[in-house]
Amino acid sequence: MTEALIMGVLNVTPDSFSDGGAYVDLEVAVAQAETLVAQGADIIDVGGESTRPGSTRVDPAVERARVMPVIQALTARGIVVSIDTLNASTAAAAVSVGVDYINDVSGGLHDPEMLTVAARASQQLDVTFIAGHWRGIPDPEHTRSAYTDVVVEVRDALGMCAHNAINAGVAPDNIVLDPGFGFDKTGAQAWELLTNLEALTDLGFPVLIGTSRKRMLGEVLADVPEAARNLGLVHERDLTTAVSSVLAAQKGAWGVRVHDAAGTAQAMAVLRAFESAPVHVSEAETAPVGADAQAMTAKPLDRVTLTGLEVFAHHGVFDFEREQGQRFLIDVDAAVDLKAAASGDDLAATVHYGELAEAIVAAVAQDPVDLIETVAERVAHVTLGFAGVHSARITVHKPQAPIDAVFADVSVSVERFAGGQTR
């Protein structure tokens, strides 16, 4: 079932694009944080400097004067807090009073000391570093929004952010990535990133999505009748924020960053109910057609199964995976008609599992690739090359995958049929 954390935005600034000036008073800010938590926020993201398009930088000392009293008040109440900052000195101060997250929209690129602070916080206090994608303070005119392929370029840049953080000493389990909606990306590019979010989650790190009240949602509302825009919400983009956050959760987002926790919490409840309902599949949907039907229904019920075949290989998206290598476990379930082999006690009439194992090990250990999906396809091709194999179900396990969570296994399964048929 899809689960995504809700990060509530608390800007204690006079000039943020959506709520600037609303929470500069300490008591008002703390009350807003408590309201967000009561409405379903898991984390409160406190920011003391606006990064809205065209914003002007403030001195880190001013930023700290804004955020530190609020953070101290919230952590004293047991609220999980994130510090939204570009400045290493502010991040270090926030860590000293108990924040659990450093949220740097520059991904460590703005302040050369940020990764050092993040590494120390990760090692000593298990603090998570959220690395955003950016090309500087967002340009209102989108002069830095030129991409040949926005998904590939953002994916590669975030992968490099993660690599730099790990090299600096941040534990891989303490890294979250953020594609930076609103940071030098047009609305169309932002929607392309959201639609193809799997390309980012495939990097192996949790992904935070922040569409809240962004221009991309305002552009969508331009096509909605005026009377349908203001529904009594705090902000006319809060409903579209909740919808886009649910779409992000369905695509595998670890968390969503929002100004309105209540609407997003309701939307997430609907998503949980939707995904927990049983799915009924009709016979018409599952029945193969024509020649494919004949091939699949003729598939023998006899099986040759090989499980837990261990191979050390250098596959993976990250450089450290390719350099260091890791264990992969392979399961093969091959459909073979074993009647002749059994009746004649004839090895030639079945699959020699020793030879199959050797062939699979050789295929998996060869040139590195990014995805275990590719490895699974490789193994299926090898298995179907053995005489008599009608189909093969292959599972590739990656038990040492770089994931920011406690887990037992990650695996991909494919089923392939002789003659190139798939189901």
CATH code of the domain covering residue 355:
3.30.1130.10
Domain with residue 71: its CATH number is: 3.20.20.20
| Euclidean distance between CA atoms 210 and 103, whole angstroms | 12
Tens of pLDDT along the chain (423 residues)? Answer: 568 999 999 999 875 555 555 777 899 999 999 999 999 999 999 999 887 666 677 899 999 999 999 999 999 999 999 999 999 999 999 999 999 999 999 999 999 999 999 999 999 999 999 999 988 777 777 778 889 999 999 999 999 999 999 999 999 999 999 999 988 889 999 999 999 999 999 999 999 999 998 889 989 888 888 877 777 677 888 999 999 999 999 999 999 999 999 999 999 999 999 988 888 866 655 555 554 444 444 445 688 899 999 999 999 999 899 999 999 999 999 888 888 888 888 888 888 989 999 999 999 998 899 999 999 999 999 999 888 888 899 999 999 999 888 888 899 999 888 765 544
Residue showing tokens 């389990």: 173
What strand order describes the sheet that includes 101-104? 175-178, 128-132, 101-104, 81-84, 43-47, 5-11, 255-258, 208-209
> Structurally, how many domains does the chain consist of?
2
Active site residues: 214, 257
Query: Where does 252-318 have alpha helices with state H?
Result: 261-276, 283-286, 290-297
Q: What is the pLDDT of residue 307?
A: 92
Residue 186 is given by DSSP the state: -
Shared domain for 89 and 163, answered yes or no, is: yes
Sign of CA dihedral 42, 1, 263, 226: positive
Residue ending a domain, among 247, 276, 305, is: 276
Q: Which range marks the domain in which residue 109 is found? A: 5-276
Paired tokens of 279: 């799915």
Shared domain for 298 and 240, answered yes or no, is: no
Shared domain for 403 and 346, answered yes or no, is: yes
Query: Where does 148-235 have alpha helices with state H?
Result: 150-168, 187-195, 198-201, 215-221
Shared domain for 124 and 171, answered yes or no, is: yes
